[in-house]
Amino acid sequence: MSLKERITDDMKTAMRAKDSERLGTIRLLQSAMKQKEVDERIELDDVAIVAIVDKMIKQRKDSIAAFEQAARQDLVDKEKTELAVLSAYLPERLSAQELTDAVQAIVKELGASGPGDMGKVMGAVKTRLAGKADMGAVSAAVKAALAP
């Protein structure tokens, strides 16, 4: 079953269970997916859907930080609920050690050395590790691997 089908099935389940919070989050995700399909005139595959989910998760994390600074616990709780629902659609994340090993292998494969090669390495890493790791952590691992 594709990720898109799973999301649709989860929406139907949430409707039947009258779970309005989960249903609202899934509808936001489906809306973002449909918008991407219409804008680019494409049919989304699992990789593209994971990228959308990643983007939405990053937005939720940023919102949580902002709402915590503003002492708006009600909004923090809402964002955390949405974050939990969205996280279920991501593939299993790599551990820190697995991430470091994967980045080291890519750096070695490309023959990259020094901070000047960061763009080349990040391009390769993004395609191979899309959805499997947080890109902030990936960037830090690449910087560490390329450090003199």
For the chain, 148 residues long, give each residue's pLDDT as a single digit of tens: 889 999 999 999 999 999 999 999 999 999 999 999 999 999 999 888 988 998 999 999 999 999 999 999 999 999 999 999 999 998 888 888 888 888 888 888 888 777 778 888 888 888 888 778 877 888 888 888 888 7
12-31 burial string, b = 16+ CB within 10 Å, else e?
A: eebeeeeeeebbebbeebee
Q: Are residues 79 and 27 part of one domain?
A: yes
Q: Are residues 103 and 83 part of one domain?
A: no
The kind and range of the H/E element at 75 are helix 73-87
Residue 9, classed as helix, strand or coil, is helix
Q: Are residues 45 and 102 part of one domain?
A: no
Q: Are residues 66 and 119 part of one domain?
A: no
Q: Are residues 111 and 80 part of one domain?
A: no
Q: Is the pTM of this model over 0.85?
A: no
Residue 42, classed as helix, strand or coil, is coil
Q: Are residues 113 and 58 part of one domain?
A: no
- Indicate the Cα dihedral angle 41, 44, 45, 48, nearest 10°: 110
Q: Are residues 58 and 10 part of one domain?
A: yes
Structural domain of residue 28, as residue ranges?
3-87
Which of 9, 14, 64, 56 has its CA nearest to residue 35?
56
Q: Are residues 80 and 9 part of one domain?
A: yes
Q: Are residues 66 and 32 part of one domain?
A: yes
- Rounded to whole angstroms, the Cα distance separating 91 from 75 reads 27
Q: Are residues 68 and 15 part of one domain?
A: yes
Do residues 50 and 130 lie in contact, with contact meaning Cβ atoms separated by under 8 Å?
A: yes
User: How many domains are contained in the chain?
Assistant: 2
Q: Are residues 117 and 135 part of one domain?
A: yes
